[in-house]
Amino acid sequence: MRFFDDTVLLYSRAAEKLYDDAKEYPIIDYHCHLDPRAIAENDRITDIGRLWLQADHYKWRAMRLCGVDEYYITGEAPYKVKFMKYAEIMPMLCGNPLYYFTHFELKQIFGITEPLCSESAEKIYEKANGRLLSLTVADLLEKYKVSLVATTDDPADSLKYHGIYGKTAVTPTFRPDRYYCPDEDTLTELGKAAGFEIKTLPDMLKALTERLDFFISKGCFMSDHGFEHFPTEFISEDEANALFLQRKTLDEKQKSALFGYILRYLLKAYAERGMTAQLHFSVRRNVNPEMFDKTGKDSGFDVTGSPEDPADVERFLSSIPDNERPPIILYALNDVPVRALASICGAFRGVRIGAAWWFNDTVSGIRRNLDIISEYSVLGTSPGMLTDSRSFAGYSRFDFFRRILCNYVGDLVTKGEYDEDAAKELVYDICFKNAEMLAKGSITYRKLTEEKTV
């Protein structure tokens, strides 16, 4: 077997046949952190060191784990030097998803098929940069057949860069995490965006609702919420208003109660507007204060939190009537309770388990996720993969996922446990159709598809 040949991660002829179709499906990236300005202005990234290492905390974390000095990670070292340091650690990353992502990208974007290491780094760097001279962001999106990019945006953002660029719709995602217990600067920013001063909780909720409608006018069809644990206190409007006025002195229990009130309010607003909500949980942010002070957020210092108590998820979901709750996708960074969460989906209409998220998007993590959804929920309803990425080279993750999915389903076909024709349709649904059904809630995506059919 040649290194990273076309059959990597595909261990049967049935898997290969499924992948032959799956690799051609367009991509609906309904959750990412790409820069919409770079898409709108069609940036040209001429250095693979910058393409890979400017904002990818997956790579930064791996480099730290291998003892690389911070100067070569988030420091002032030239991108070529950073690339060389990344190349040095590559042989150590056996089984790590970065090893797969890196070599898929080398092959798919640059036509490079040799393994990256210290010895090959200089030659690969020069060849990749030569190829990048003729590539723009639009070229990368077209190469991976990206039909939609849903960025992650604060309610106060202007969204001036969202729209249709070439063959890709760029839509915002409503991410209101800063407003669960906001400081004065946050409220000032929101007030400026909404056009009025915010002093009370009703003021803030009005502003968030108006901004939500603005987001929808720009193509938004999903929200996203990240937190460590589901709220367990359900308070009245008067109690929430009082806590908001005292927010500078709240303890953790009171903050959770205020968060729960705001989240439930927003979920009902999404339901009224036909939106889908993504809930990411069991994550602890910025656990190394010293490094947070030096590098800021999203630099690789977030970690897996304790497992979510399924009973808390049940209580939260049941606190919102079925007809007032939007479709919800659950992502647990600590995937220990995912079996229980998958069973909960059967009790609350419109609730689904999302892709293996963040630290779980590994070979075994994705396989485990597919197993659980298949056995405890319904695999055919899965919305498939997302990048959660800040890198325009990050679409190799879709190929990674599609290979693992095709191998999973192909194995059942090979053993005579699943119909081959049904397998083709199932893989299509998971890789594209189910996500597109979500994307059709976006006026921007609908406009793009209408233009394609003219």
Output the average pLDDT for the chain.
Answer: 97
The 10s digit of each residue's pLDDT in 34-68 is 999 999 999 999 999 999 999 999 999 999 999 99
Q: Quick one: pLDDT band at residue 452, thresholds 50, 70, 90?
A: confident
> What pLDDT sits at residue 35?
96
Domain assignment present for residue 66? The answer is: yes
Strand arrangement, sheet containing 328-332:
222-226, 276-281, 328-332, 351-353
pLDDT single digits (tens) 161-193: 999 999 999 999 999 999 999 999 999 999 999
Say if residue 230 is in the same domain as residue 325. yes
Q: Which of these three, 132, 166, 189, is where a domain ends?
A: 132
* Res 393 pLDDT > 60: yes
Residue 189 lies in a domain: yes
pLDDT of residue 451: 81
Neighbour-count burial for 309-324, b at 16+ CB within 10 Å, e otherwise:
ebeebbebbeebeeee
Pair 125, 152 in one domain: no
- Tens of pLDDT, residues 312-355: 999 999 999 999 999 999 999 999 999 999 999 999 999 999 99
Last residue of a domain, one of 89, 105, 132: 132
For the stretch 338-372, what's the b/e string if a residue is b when 16 or more beta carbons lie within 10 angstroms of its beta carbon? bbbbbebbeebeebbbbbbbbbbbbbebbebbbeb
pLDDT class for 1, splitting at 50, 70, 90?
Answer: low
Listed in sequence order, the residues at least 6 apart from 253 whose beta carbon sits closer than 8 Å to its beta carbon are 233
CATH number, position 97? 1.10.2020.10
Average pLDDT over every residue of 202-230? 98
- Strand partners for 28: 148
Do 149 and 112 sit in the same domain of this protein?
no
Q: Read off the amino acid at residue 42.
A: N
| pLDDT value, residue 2 | 81
Residues 124 and 153 in one domain: no
- Do both 172 and 113 map to the same domain? no
Residue found by looking up tokens 């009973």 in the block: 311
Residues 3-34 have pLDDT tens digits of 999 999 999 999 999 999 999 999 999 999 99
Quick one: CA dihedral 281, 313, 437, 384, positive or negative? positive
CA distance 353 to 278: 10
Please check the confidence at residue 266 and state whether its pLDDT lies above 60: yes
Q: Is 454's pLDDT higher than 70?
A: no
Task: Name the domain boundary from 68, 99, 132.
Answer: 132
Residue 433 CA from chain centroid, whole number: 18
Q: In the predicted model, is pLDDT for residue 96 greater than 80?
A: yes
**Which token pair is 108?**
């798919």
CATH classification at residue 446: 3.20.20.140
Domain annotation covers residue 10: no
In a domain, 416, yes or no: yes
